[in-house]
Chain A
């Protein structure tokens, strides 16, 4: 895994440069979201799409913390999304509808799951790590499908969004948008602080060469485990938000395909930048949303039924697009940005 780190991740941030353009623009766009939405004429649709971008951006960013900074390819990260979502769903069905109860429970459950599975997974390396995290993700997926009391395969619908301290504070879509924005901003700031701290530097050092880190007196395992747990808790928070946005909880949140999509978002945006993962999530979701439309436009010279078929099977374009991005766009969107920026 060391070669992965050396060839692919961002160079360490220069310490003198405090002001960074990309995250500022990114959060400014998110902050302008409600205005953009009402200007677009389809307010509900744009707002819910942007909310989804922020929530999955949060999940992708949490994955970047271990994938980009620790070179730990976790293929079961969607499990944490599921834990967060099910914490909301299960507590709500037992009458605890307050986010001030649900979120701490979700974070504690994610931390517990992360601690146990992380302690086992981190004993393995490389491909085995990918596979064992995948196995834990699948384990939780099957557990969720067998929870007959909570909807089993079909999932369950939440009666309403979580209350905050007894009030229906985030019931409206705009209020929920700001709640998601706030969560993303706070976690992003926290993740930046973590990455810049001594802890973050040890983690990066472990990514580059864990034997050397051990030789100078660190225990890589502890740092990796702590990062894994922290990352899992952030993804758990994203799961709480996701359940609240859709007011629906189902095992589909933790399929292995979802874990794969999260990895793709991180790589698409650019490994090891944090905001790159958010941009990657945005690019992924927008592509998923608009590719059918784009294909519809591009297929103007085809006959009507062929055109409909093309639009219906947009994934046949999406798959090869993914392959091409992997093969040719190294460093993701942030990599392109840097290359454009520094000549």
Chain B
């Protein structure tokens, strides 16, 4: 367990956490403001990655592809809202879970239909490829650093939007009491639409950003969706601040846990058992973490509703 390795893994964890935050931010707002449980948020991340792959193959330029992918992801989100989700706001959670599950089935198969089942690759832009030497003998890929910077920038932007603009104020008010906001004369349906579209775009942005470092394939949104749910449940539904902290925690616990759980267990167990138990325990860590947090705080760390 060298300090260098720990540092690199922490950076990876931070990068993963920020991607999780981009997805979880939209999810927690949709959840908090509309009390709407959207399982299809993960496929919006996948759609973002696919759009990125398609546009980058078409334009051959990373920047243009990103510029085209973002509004397209927004359009897909708004289309889904108008076609399906809008009819589910008044339904109970069970219906929402099922209908959005149907959207997942459709879109997972849909991307297979359009782009085939084989994973796609997206090249990283020229000026962000290669590695940078952070310290003596410690190389780190520039593109991953770029993801960290972009994630932090979006987090800051969201902070300003949510805390210092009129729409942000309405969103916060909606998260703590939506019927009251509606009674005060705000067009809550339009607010829902804005929040929804914005959330879809953020998820699409996350997908577009990770496209160069992951393979773009059907079903890639499914597992990250579960992690995003873990994040918003730990953070407290409806709270952006909670989602940010929880995303970083989950990202770090998961990444660092996977590489160090076997080493850590070696202190108590013989090496063979330690590496086997370590590999078994590591993927479970965040779920244990979540169960522990919910045990002590059943409504998450920063509950928005009181």
- A306-327, CB < 8 A from B: 309, 313, 315-316, 318-323, 326-327
Chain B residues near A210: list those with CB within 8 A. none
- B256-306, CB < 8 A from A: 276, 279-280, 282-284, 287-288, 290-291, 294-295, 298-300
- In the bound assembly, the distance between CA atoms of A16 and B279 in angstroms comes to 57
Interface size on B, residues (CB 8 A): 47
Among B102, B112, B282: residue with most chain A CB under 10 A:
B102
Name the CB-closest residue of B to A322: B102
State the main secondary structure of chain B at its contact with A. Answer: helix
Given A4-B94, A146-B279, verify A323-B84 contact (CB < 8 Å).
yes
- In the bound assembly, the distance between CA atoms of A313 and B295 in angstroms comes to 42
Shortest distance from the beta carbon of B287 to any chain A beta carbon, whole Å: 4
Given A132-B294, A146-B279, verify A319-B284 contact (CB < 8 Å).
no
- In the bound assembly, the distance between CA atoms of A276 and B283 in angstroms comes to 37
Which of A125, A139, A316 lies in contact with B284, CB distance below 8 A?
A139
Q: Contact at B105–A319, with CB atoms within 8 Å?
A: yes
Q: Contact at A73–B93, with CB atoms within 8 Å?
A: yes
Name the CB-closest residue of A to B298: A124
Q: Contact at A315–B290, with CB atoms within 8 Å?
A: no
Shortest distance from the beta carbon of B161 to any chain A beta carbon, whole Å: 24
Shortest distance from the beta carbon of A235 to any chain B beta carbon, whole Å: 18
Q: Is A106 an interface residue (CB 8 A)?
A: no
- B50-101, CB < 8 A from A: 84, 87-88, 91-95, 97-99, 101
Q: Is B140 an interface residue (CB 8 A)?
A: no
Interface size on A, residues (CB 8 A): 47
- In the bound assembly, the distance between CA atoms of A331 and B97 in angstroms comes to 16
Q: Contact at B287–A139, with CB atoms within 8 Å?
A: yes
Q: Is B24 an interface residue (CB 8 A)?
A: no
Q: Contact at A128–B298, with CB atoms within 8 Å?
A: yes
Q: Which 10 A-B pairs have the closest CB atoms?
A: A319-B106, A322-B102, A319-B105, A142-B283, A315-B109, A146-B280, A139-B287, A323-B102, A4-B92, A326-B99
15 contacts between A and B (CB under 8 A): A73-B93, A128-B237, A132-B233, A132-B294, A135-B229, A139-B288, A143-B280, A148-B279, A256-B226, A260-B98, A315-B106, A319-B103, A322-B105, A323-B84, A323-B106
* A interface residues with partner B (beta carbon < 8 Å): 1, 3-4, 7-8, 67, 73, 75, 120, 123-128, 130-132, 134-136, 138-139, 142-143, 145-148, 256-257, 260, 263-264, 267, 309, 313, 315-316, 318-323, 326-327
